[in-house]
Homo-oligomer: A and B are copies of this chain.
């Protein structure tokens, strides 16, 4: 995956993962890698600040837990977060369709 292609869409991805159940930061990274078929392999320096940002914005809630001597911070979607996910998903679809529309006019050098 080319550098910083996901600019502006990271929030949507993180919210999507957490919509399927609470998870901690490291787990979010693994989920994204798994669900995207290895396309998204995000560095920690990308994901952790994003989680903090989303919590700051009230879209996530977090809770510390101790699991076999390891401290973890588990994130969960808030009600606002659930709403934001719906909004962001719509925005993504609109955006994606718009890009497709622009691209559809471009001659494509491959067989159809």
Known A7-B7, A8-B7, A96-B96; contact A35-B102, beta-carbon cutoff 8 A: yes
Minimum C-beta distance from A56 to chain B (A)? 18
Would you call B16 and A102 a contact (CB within 8 A)? yes
Interface size class of chain A, counting residues whose CB lies under 8 Å from the partner chain: 35 or more
Known A7-B8, A9-B99; contact A105-B20, beta-carbon cutoff 8 A: yes
> Chain copies in the assembly?
2
CA distance A2 to B9 in the complex (A): 11
A54 at the B interface (CB under 8 A):
no
Would you call B9 and A5 a contact (CB within 8 A)? yes
Which of A43-51, A58-66, A86-94 faces chain B? A86-94
